[in-house]
Each structure stands twice: as structure tokens, then as C-alpha cells.
Amino acid sequence: MALDAVTRAVLARDDVTRYLRDLQGTSEADGRRRIEAYVDELRTTQRYKFYRALQHPLYPILRKVRRHTEGLEHVRAATGSGRVVYVSNHKSHLDYLVELLDLDDHGIRPPLIAAGINLFGGALGLLHRHVTGAIPIRRNSKDPLYLVTLRAYVAEMLKTQDLLYYAEGGRSYRGELKAPKTGLLQAALAADRSKVSIVPMAVSYDLVLEVRMLLRAATSRRSRPFAQEVAEMVRHAVGYRSRAFITFREPIPLTRFDPESRRSVITLARQVQREVGLAYKVLPTALVATAVRAGGATRAELVDRVDALLAVLAGQGANLGVKTGRAAVEDGVRRLAERGVLVEAPPRIRVRDRHVVRYYARTIEHLLPRTARTPR
């Protein structure tokens, strides 16, 4: 059977041919067949008009999330000069929609999305593969042949399309900004580095829709099928209201990084992680959760603690969503009380769900000195 253009291009790449030539324990022909199978697995098609239409059946949830965008000038600069790899944190299944719809709202061309292969079962898998333009990623694969194929495939895709991926891999189950994975950064470096830049970005919510589901998954150490999670998210959407802040940072050109140097890749990963962390919007719910602690506090005590936090965060260059402790406490306590996380029992504000409080506190701990971080 004749190979398609993408498979031929992957097999013709220098890193792939070099790897096939040096294979141990298997023939080059067997290696080529495995690469062809991997490319077929990775293959995706984006029909963006249909993807945009997905917001309509999800409108009951999406209408409850008010989107705010910052730093679009960085996106326009990057897309005007070449291909773009957006690197984001990962808080919620809503991320795929709010981030992509936000780009489209502002006339920015849509990127492909790198997503875990666990999201590709059944009808949802067909939707991802043939509509959303999601590339199925085996996140925990140690097969070097798969990894070299993945990097080559993504590098080929970056010749004609942009890419959005989540540096942490999956969602953060405990709330903190997790250490970045480097596989797709290596893929970006394997592309034409003079025509590709990284745009660090972050998404932040007042309230994460599936926060209690995430905490259960962190405890059980296993996730449930995607379709079951979506069904439960619909249930949790009753009474849910939140803002989503999507913030873009200045593009990082790739020409000064060496794809053959592990140190260079790690340096790039750390720079991207730092920029994603600084892009993350610090919202009242996170400030109140950090300040309230397990035993609760009076409103006046919370205001003083949040004012002190804001001073520390401002010194770190954090992206603050509120200026005063009073404003943060007013907004944050109300939102957390409405979701049953805090309870107002004058004169004190008490913690009803300490696990959720810790989750929101951890969302900003990357910006704080270690002594101020939330206990595990």
C-alpha cells in the first residue's frame, strides 16, 4: 500500500532514519512498520467549523464561564511571524474549549491540540480525531520508537499548523502547577526553529468545575472514563458560576536552543514553566484559601492576611486579579461559601471542606516562598 505524504515525511526525517539504522534486536523493516502504525494512530484532522459548533450542546456549562483575555498582542506577534506552540497549564476539561474559543473569538487561527489517548474512546474519540484536531498522546510511553515518531510527526505538523499542549500532561489533581514534561518541547525544537516560537499561557478559574472529582482522583490514584467525567461535570454545573482568565506571555524564539542538548531542552522547559506560572491569574478564591487555613478566621483577620499575601505576590511579579485584601475577601468568601467550601458563622469564617481549600491554596503556591506553601 502506498504511503501518504505525512508518513513518508516522517520516515524521511534524519532523526528517524538514524534511529532505524541503529535499531537493536529488530529489523529496519519491522521498525518502519511500527512507525507507520504509530503515525496512523497519531493522525488527526481538524474541521474547525464543526468544532466551534460544539459549544452549542455545551452551552448550559459554557454560559456559566465568563472569559477574560490578556496579552493578545503577544499572540498576534507570534502568529504574524511563523508557527506557534502554545504551552498552557491544565486545570479542567473546560480548558480545551475556553482556550480555543477564546482564540477564535479574537480572529486567531486555531491550533491542533495534544491530548491524552485516554480521551479517544468511543464516539468521543471519533470526535477528537476527525473534528477537534486532537493528537492522541501516550503520556507514559517509554518506547523510544514511539517517542521518536511522536517528535517527528509533531515537527511535520508544525510546518502547516499551530499546536496547543499542556506542559503538565494531565490536569493538576491537587491544584499545584506540576513539573513540565519535555517531549513536545523536543518536538518543537525538531521543527524549523527559525519559523516556530513558544507562547506560554495560563488559564485560571475562580472555581474549577470538577474540583471535587479531581481530589477524589488524587486520592484513588486513578481517573475514570472521560464520558463518565463529562456526565458528572454536568451535574456539578448546577449553581456553578465562574470567570476564566486566559493570559498569554511574550513569545519565546527557539533559535537559541539546541535540540541535541539535554541541558538546552531543560533550560527551555524551565523558562516556559516560569512564564506559565507568572501568567497564572491570582484570583480571590486562591487568596482566601491560602489565608483562611484549617481553623478559619474572622473577616478582619482574613483581610490582614490577604493584604500581606498580596504584598509578597506583587514582589514576585504575580499576575494579580485583585488589589486589596478587602476586595479579595468579599469576593472569595462569597464564591467559596456558595459552593459549600466555607461557611460564615459570625464572627468567624469557618472551613467546611478543607481538601478543596487546600486545592485552591496550592494553585498559587508556585509564586510563594516555600515557608508559606500549603501542607501536603
CATH number at residue 361: 1.10.10
Confidence band for 125, pLDDT divided at 50, 70 and 90: low
Residues 70 and 178 both lie in one domain: yes
The more confident residue out of 368 and 369 is 368
What is the Cα–Cα distance from 5 to 282, expressed in whole angstroms? Answer: 46
Average pLDDT, the chain: 88
Does residue 292 sit in the same domain as residue 206?
no
List, in sequence order, every residue forming a beta bridge with 114; answer none if it has no partner: 135
Classify residue 97 as exposed, middle or buried by CB count within 10 Å of its CB (0-12, 13-18, 19+). buried
67 and 102 in contact (C-beta within 8 Å)? yes
Co-location of 162 and 116 in the same domain: yes
324 and 270 in a common domain: no
Q: What is the pLDDT of residue 53?
A: 65
- Say whether both 87 and 228 belong to one domain: yes
Domain that holds residue 349: 284-372
Q: Could you tell me if residue 197 is inside a domain? A: yes
Q: Are residues 359 and 253 in the same domain?
A: no
Residue 148 grid cell: 521518536
Res. 222: pLDDT tops 90: no
Contacts by 141-150, CB closer than 8 A, 24 or more apart: 144/19, 145/19, 145/23, 145/31, 145/34, 145/35, 145/38, 146/38, 147/183, 148/15, 148/16, 148/19, 149/10, 149/16, 149/35, 149/38, 149/39, 149/42, 150/38, 150/42, 150/183, 150/184, 150/187
Q: Quick one: 197 and 341 in the same domain? A: no
219 within a domain of the structure (yes/no): yes
Cα separation, 223 vs 273, whole angstroms: 25
Q: What pLDDT is attached to residue 219?
A: 82
Task: Give the total number of structural domains in the chain.
Answer: 2
- Is residue 51 in a domain? no
Residue 13 lies in a domain: no
| Other beta carbons less than 10 A from residue 8's beta carbon | 13
Q: What is the pLDDT of residue 117?
A: 80
**Do 161 and 263 lie in a common domain?**
yes
Are 152 and 180 in a shared domain?
yes
One domain, residues 205 and 319: no
Residue 39 maps to a domain: no
Where a domain ends, among 260, 279, 298?
A: 279
List beta partners, residue 345: 348
Give the domain-ending residue among 234, 256, 279: 279
Statement to judge: residues 96 and 122 lie in one domain: yes
Question: Are 205 and 341 within one domain?
Answer: no
**Within a 10 A sphere around the Cβ of 1, how many other Cβ atoms?**
4
The residue out of 250, 279, 308 marking a domain boundary is 279
Q: Where are the beta strands (DSSP E) in 71-170?
A: 83-88, 112-116, 134-137, 163-166
H or E element in which residue 330 lies: helix 325-338
Higher pLDDT among residues 287 and 30, named by residue: 287
Contact 253, 196 (CB under 8 A): no
Residue type, 180: P
Confidence label for 372 from pLDDT (cuts 50, 70 and 90): low
Classify residue 48: in a domain, yes or no.
no
Does the global pTM surpass 0.85?
Answer: yes
- Cα–Cα distance measured from residue 340 to residue 15, given in angstroms and rounded to the nearest whole number: 54
Residue 120 maps to a domain: yes
The answer as to whether 182 is a domain residue is yes
